[in-house]
Structures are given as C-alpha cells and as structure tokens.
Structure 1
C-alpha cells in the first residue's frame, strides 16, 4: 500500500484561491457537503485542520460525507481488510467533530468506504468489518472504476482493468450491498455510462450513486 501515500494532484495554492472572493448566496441555507476526502500524502495534506479552514467561507455547512480515497489503510493484516483502517481513521475524525468543540458542523457524519467487490460473495466479511469500524456511520462502498484506454486520460492514480463494472464477481459483490442497506458509489467517465446503466439494471436492489456528474472528460480526444 506504499503507493497510496503518493498524490497525483497539484498542491493547493491559497494565494491563487484568494485572488477571487465571491459573495455567499443564502448564507443561512443549511448545506450537506456530500463528497469530500481527507488524506496525508507527500506534498499534499488535507486533514481536519485544513477542512475546518475551508469552512470559513460563510456557507452554512451542517454535515459532511467522507468518500473513500485510499487514506490511512492498515499496513498489517490481510490485504482485503487493510481498507478498514480508512474507516477507523475517519470515524475518529467524526467523533472529534461530534464533540462540539469545533462548532456545530458534524464532519464525516456519513462515510463511504472501500471493499473490493471483486471478492464477490467473500466481500461480506470486509463489509461487516467496515460497519463495525464506522460505528453506525458507514453508508456506502466505492471502488476504483474510472477507466479509459487513452493514457492521456489518467485522473485515476490506480486505474482498474477495463470492463470491471461488467464482471460477474464485481456484480455479485455489488448486489450484496443491498443486504446491508449500503449504496454503491461509482466513479466513471462519461464514456463508461453505458456500463453504469448495465450495472444498475443487473443490480436493481442496490442504490447507485454516480460520482462527479458522470465524469465528463475535457482532455485527450475530448479536449
């Protein structure tokens, strides 16, 4: 899991972000931030302190949803169970926020974790471990699914094999999530939306959340 410590993203530039200040519309409107990450990577740190600083914009954020990003995996134990460390870490942040010492916002009130759905039916043990680690906050599972044949389109630092969403074992694992009332977050590019539709049809009892608005591409052949 050593490669999980690296970050493919540019460092945040506070001075550049400060060049434009926009007035907050409806500052009293309660907002749930439905998708954010926390990580500590080489040259790119975004943890509770940085997240709290971003709340100073004037919007009324009441709760947030953490979505998996390969953060704080366990370094010991079976590989399938190593992602449980991410939920353990985030649940600790949620408990820190729930103390009320940092204001009324409840960070990571819901958690989307990772369990390798290619385990098929065997993913059940991982899901149950994630639920225990989440202390009631686990709401869904997300896998690495964004893929494109063009190497110039590589926003995913760990690209999956092509056709993952159509694999029988993946779909078996996806169907199992319904048993635990968990959603399946899908990060896919717009070129994969037919695969997402086929997955939804094959797993009718599993709630699907389409991340990043279906991943419209503006690079490579779509520039």
Structure 2
C-alpha cells in the first residue's frame, strides 16, 4: 500500500502494530519538526500536539524552516520573516500534554538568503526581533545533485557552500550567535567540511545524517553509498564546530521503502534498518555532538511518531545514562539554547 495522499497515509499509519513506550520517563527535546498548510496536507498545532502527546516524555521541540508562512509582499530578502511570525503565532504558548506542558518551537531555525553575504545581517536581526527568545539559527538548503530525480523544492545549485558570499553569510551567523543548519546530500559532505573549516566560529548542524540517498541513481547501491557516506561523515566529524542530527532516514530519499509495505513497520524493524547509520554517526561525533530528531511530519511515510522514538530508544539501548541524556536532550538543549 503506497500512501499517495494525506488520507491514505493516515489510514496506513492507523495499521501500526501497538507497542509499549520504551523508557517513558526519559526526557526528550525533538530538535527538528515542521508546520505547514499545503496541498491538502495540514500539519499545525493540533496535529503536532497529537504526535508529541503520544506517551514519550517530549518536553520541548525545535522548529526548522520549510517555506511556510512567507510574507506575500515586501522586499524579497525579508519575506521569510513571515515564517518566524507564523511559528510564533501558531505556537505562542506551551502545548498542554497529558504529562504536562510541552515547549513547542522553543527554538526556531528560519531561512535567510546567505548569498547576501554579510548583507544578511539585517534579515537576521529582523528574525531575532520577531522571536527574541526563540530564534536560534538559519537553514539555507544546499542539497544539489545532477540527477533530476534528486531535485527538491529548494532552489539550489552546485557547490553553493564554496561560494565566498555564502561563506560570508555563514560567518555572519556565527558573529551573531546563531547556528547554521545544513541540509545537503552525502555527496557534498566534503564541501560542508571545507565550509566548517572556513567558518570555525559558526556552529554547523548537519541535518538528517548528511542526506543518505537510496533512490534514483543510487537505487540498489546501499553498500556503496554507506561506504562513501561513512568515510565522508567520519572526516566531517573531525571539525569540532559541527553537530549531527540523527534522523531523516524515514524520508523516501533514503530508499528504505517502508511506505510500500502493507502495514507500517514496528520500532524494531526501523531500528534494524537505521542502526548502522545512526551508530556510525554517534561513534564519529560522540554523544555530546549528536541529537535524535523526528523530522516530522516528513518521516511519517515510514512510521508514526511514537514508533520512531521507540526505534531511537532501541538503537541507544546500550548507552549509559549520561550518553542517553546527551542524545535525547542535552545536545539539542545546548546547541539551540533551549
């Protein structure tokens, strides 16, 4: 059964095998989710709360830009401020879950055009003014591949991270105490490393484990992709100003194809598929520079929120208390000042 519409996906997820919450008292900050209303698919406060209030102890979250709520007019470079306004308006107070309040979008990562170089500073200042206690950084997607099958919703081009203006923009983030979330493919991790070297005072946060691909030109090449990805990731991890988000493997991009199965996978099946990647990243970066992320609602195509966090807990089962605290809470809290 392939989830071809929001209703199809809801029906498919309703078939999820029931399973108990693992380690229900473990506090979690989910540092990567979205909000949107597009194409018949709405994911706003009520839907987010329904997921967060699933039995896991989610205490706070981080919002990451997804082209939502832009201003319809005004200077182009300032239109993305509308997304910060949208998030503040949508989640203006903590959500009320069964286990207590949840500080949803306690950190906001918005968009600003880093090709403006140092000229991006007024845009960043406007974001901060819109959410002075919550705006924490910028994501400017740079994921690019020559294959048309891998062209996404963002306007990108080859070697953006090598451009002097973009690096000036990244450096400006660091000077203003803001982070740089990086959405890129595994084929570009060497460019991320070079940019991190060029901007040592900016904290880079590598989204979605660095963009593992299992479709298009990389279909049926999982071993080859893993070897190339892990080598590049281990090299990138040598940069102390880089963090990594452990998630995003539920996207169709990763090629696991769970959404094509008659029923959603249980957490053990997800953990078995994802553990080699997540364990490699934890070993490379260490627990203090790695954080689990839901990437919701994008990763819904591979499982419900409850199941995905159970999968992460299976993968981290051998970690000690301090290590689990870092992976599920502390790294996110420190990176985004939550």
TM-score, structure 2 as length reference: 0.61
- 1:45 matched to 2:49? The reply is no
Conserved in 2, the CA contact under 8 Å of 1:146 and 1:159? no
Counterparts of 1:159 and 1:179, CA distance in 2: 26
Give the aligned partner of residue 176 of structure 2: 180
**What's the CA shift for 1:36?**
0.2
1:97 is displaced (CA, Å) by: 2.4
- Whether contact under 8 Å (2:49, 2:97) holds in the other structure is no
Q: 1:91, 1:135 within 8 Å by CA — same for their partners in 2? A: no
1:32 aligns with 2:29: yes
Does 1:16 pair with 2:9? no
Match of 1:5? Answer: none
Relative distance call for 1:152 and 1:89 in structure 2 (3 A) is: same
Give the one of 149, 153, 157 matched to 1:152: 149
1:94 and 2:91 equivalent?
yes
Following TM superposition, the consecutive aligned residue runs of length 4 or more in structure 1 with deviations greater than 3 angstroms are: 100-103
Q: What's the TM-score, normalizing by structure 1?
A: 0.91
Helix, strand or coil at the partner of 2:149: coil
Q: Which runs of structure 2 are paired with 1:181-196 in the superposition (5 Å)?
A: 181-196=177-192
Contact in 2 for aligned 1:94/1:109 (Cα 8 Å): no
**1:93–1:107: 8 Å Cα contact kept in structure 2?**
no
CA distance in 1, matches of 2:156, 2:34: 20
The question of whether the paired residues in 2 share the 8 Å contact of 1:68 and 1:112 is answered with yes
In the aligned structure 1, how far is the partner of 2:117 from the partner of 2:92? Answer: 32
Aligned length: 213
Secondary structure of residue in 2 paired with 1:139: strand
Of 24-33 and 85-94, the range deviating more from structure 2: 85-94
In structure 2, distance between residues paired with 1:199 and 1:160: 16
Alpha-carbon RMSD across the aligned residues, in angstroms, is 1.7
Structure 1 residues 10 and 210: alpha-carbon distance in aligned structure 2, compared to 1, 3 A threshold: farther
Q: 1:10 Cα deviation (Å)?
A: 5.2
Structure 2: runs of 5+ lacking an equivalent? 220-338
Q: Distance in 2 between matches of 1:210 and 1:170?
A: 16
Query: Which among 163, 181, 192 is matched to residue 159 of structure 2?
Result: 163
Say if 2:137 is the partner of 1:135: no
Contact 1:65 1:107 survives alignment (8 Å): yes
CA contact (8 A) 1:24 1:58 kept: yes
> Where does structure 1 lack aligned partners over 5 or more consecutive residues?
1-8
Deviation, 1:222, is 1.0
Q: Greater helix share, 1 or 2?
A: 2
d(CA) in 2 for partners of 1:170, 1:56: 39
Q: Are the equivalent residues in 1 in contact too, given 2:45–2:91 (CA < 8 A)?
A: no
Cα distance in 2 for partners of 1:75, 1:198 equals 36
